[in-house]
Amino acid sequence: MPQISVVVPVYNVEKYLRECLDSLANQTFEDFEVICVNDGSDDSSPDILEEYASEDERFKIVSQENKGLSGARNTGMNYIKGRYLLFLDSDDWLELNALELLYNQANSLDSEMVIFPYRYFNQETKEYEENDFTKLNMFDSSVDNKNFNYKNIPEIVFRIPHESIKLYDVQTLEKLAVRFPEGLNYEDAYFFYKIFFKLNKVSIIRTPIYNYRIRNDSICTTGTEKSFDIFKILTSIENFLKEDEIYESFKDEFILFAVINLKFVYLRLDERFRDRYLEKIKKNYEFFSLNQVNKNHLATWHFDDRVFYQAIDVSNNGIEFELNYKKLYYEFLANHYEGVIEQLRHENQVLAQENNDLKEQSADTSIKSKFKKIVKL
């Protein structure tokens, strides 16, 4: 039995597939299998898969008609034999010591999930990008080298990256019987939180081991009508939080999580759908408890999230929203920079006064020096 199973959904990624598979074939940790799910590709991806499978017995191919990313992942989970599971998208790639680091962490701590940092790779600019989010800087050092659960980190539960790029204990997944919701975008958020709130032993590593390719034609960057799936995903998450009777404990954090994700989708949405999208937000306004935002908690939000929420609150349609969003945004910036300018003026006055004091001290010293010379004469 292999220690790690890696599920790789594959759909028309001939340009990137070799880099993905090479990053697996050359891992420093060798006790793993790769379940490549050919999800109805009609380019040369199947031929590339056959090539790798013929040269390395750890690579196995499962073919099916196109079911989308969730369907391909779910199919792959039906074939795994490993102790741990990792999902790897076929346009991404791993650092060569990734599986070794993940296995050592999970095995030594008996973790049910291992969360790890990652880096974005911009396909257009060929540049790597990291930030506090991808570096897992929301976690402080108190969770290093040990297991924790959601009760230990209530203030950051909804700030954790919810992409499915985690290492999972297979037995735990089988007990929970969680699968990706097929036919929906933003499936990662559903899958992660459906599992995360059931776990007692989660750990993190601090080394970035996953390279996440950003493409203009990827699901997360195209604002089609499928973007409306975010409402179903947020609704599902809220429902199972309520079913588990933990919603009230995380209500403020969930509301902010909902606003951030609604904003994320809106800013990438094709303009043709924006008006209807905003109508949908207003329709779900009370369900997502957007009418119950705690003012003290609101004050802690990033200004962009706060402005987005406030614009929704005072708008009845898409046109009003656009106007209010821009108005509130510019008002915030004007007030912010007015405060910055005032602070700079104050600091300039302080520096000017200090400069004058130095000049006076210098003049006094010069007069005293001249007086001493006169006395000596």
How far is residue 289's CA from residue 258's CA, in Å, rounded to a whole number?
10
Q: Which residues contact 351 (CB under 8 A, 6 or more apart)?
A: none
How far is residue 84's CA from residue 336's CA, in Å, rounded to a whole number?
49
Domains, the chain, in order of start with CATH, read 1-221 (3.90.550.10), 223-377 (no CATH)
| C-beta separation of 66 from 91 below 8 A | no
Kindly report which listed range (138-147, 154-163, 327-336, 340-349) carries the lowest average pLDDT score.
340-349
pLDDT in the model for residue 321: 87
How far is residue 219's CA from residue 86's CA, in Å, rounded to a whole number?
20
Q: What is the mean pLDDT of residues 32-57?
A: 98
Bridge partners for 120 per DSSP: 129, 212
For the stretch 348-371, pLDDT in tens is 776 667 777 777 776 666 555 554
pLDDT classification of 377: cutoffs 50, 70, 90 = very low
Residue 315's region, left for phi above 0, alpha for psi from -120 to 50, else beta, is beta
Can you give the pTM of this predicted structure?
A: 0.85
For the stretch 224-278, pLDDT in tens is 899 999 999 999 999 999 999 999 999 999 999 999 999 999 999 998 999 899 9
Backbone torsions φ then ψ of 220, nearest 5 degrees: -75, -10
pLDDT in the model for residue 367: 52
Packing angle between helix 229-243 and helix 187-196, nearest 10 degrees? 10
Q: How many whole angstroms from its chain centre is CA 19?
A: 23
| C-beta separation of 85 from 173 below 8 A | yes
pLDDT classification of 342: cutoffs 50, 70, 90 = low
342/12: higher pLDDT: 12
